Amino acid sequence: MHALAANTHTEEEPATNLRSSASTGFIEANTLPITLQEIEQKNIIPVFSKDNETAISHTEFVQATYDTAQDYFNGAKLLQPVIRVSHPIKGRIPEARNKAANELLEHERTLYYERMAFLIEIPEISRDIMGNKLSLVIGGVKSYNLDNLFNKKGSPETFKVFIGFQNKVCLNLCVWTDGLKEQIKVTSVQALTGQIHQLISGYDAMTTLVRMEEFTERSITERQFAQLIGKSRLYNYLPTAERKALPNFEFLDCHINAIANDYYADRSFCRATDGTINLWRLFNLFTGANRNSYIDKYLSRGVNASQFISSLNTALSTRQPFWFIE
């Protein structure tokens, strides 16, 4: 992993070191941007109802990831986390239980967000593919709805952690299965930190980059793209046995609509003048559409984009049939 730094971008960051990682737009659907300071100062921490002990907070999760990455990439500069939240859980302090909602004072309101996604950019570790700068990022997803908060402290809490690359042209996230731990169940921050370190230390960044560079070498025609769009809509209606024989496809009609539109309209990843589109651009149409996924599906669908385009690439390189473009 560290050998990658020899081919990296070394642009100086502002002296304040407070610039956020890219933009807040790495995921958009049904989410709001928020800072770590806002979460820490304005949001309450959920508790286990049987003993009133706190669950692992969003702040602790982000901080554990940041500290682990800082320790592993010794000397590399990490940007401040970019955080998106959804599903606000509102409440009020007991003293205000009889007040009308429009009479509540600020200190009488309570709030936390059930779901949170974040990423931390490591800009010094980067690579260029077809004029697109890719920076290494690490981050995670937390959804309290996956936890049994009606139990006691010590019940397993669920986290998702990822490491991969972000395309700086469009902010799309590029994640493969080996860069994702989707079912981390722990009972302490220490155990969570161990899982995060295990993911980072086992991740092979060069393999991910080679896979993406291979996407630039093959293209599909306009006719094949049209077949892909049409058959993507048929996929979920196939008989179960037929569907199981095909590559998994998790994208919905709303995503397919975006992919079809951007085939013509996206300035960076649209078709070529002859109607062809290489798999790198197609991959970015998929990851771009994925930015409109909800937090709970964002990472699994991002990995599915990588798997799907990889399967298409293999079929084209070996001249094997591929149902989606036949």
**Considering the entire predicted model, what is its pTM?**
0.89
Beta strands in the chain (DSSP E): 32-34, 47-48, 53-54, 82-92, 109-129, 132-143, 157-167, 173-174, 180-186, 219-220, 277-278
Domain boundaries, the chain: 2-204, 216-325
The one-character DSSP state at 6 is: G
Q: Is 100:120 a contact under the CB 8 Å cutoff?
A: no
Residues 164 and 137: beta-carbon distance below 8 Å: yes
**Average pLDDT per consecutive 10 residues, the chain (326 residues; last block may be shorter):** 38 30 70 95 94 96 97 93 96 89 90 97 96 97 96 96 96 95 97 98 96 97 98 97 96 97 97 98 97 95 98 97 96
Instruction: Please state, in angstroms and rounded to a whole number, the distance separating the CA atoms of residues 249 and 251.
Output: 6
Instruction: Report DSSP state, residue 5.
Output: G
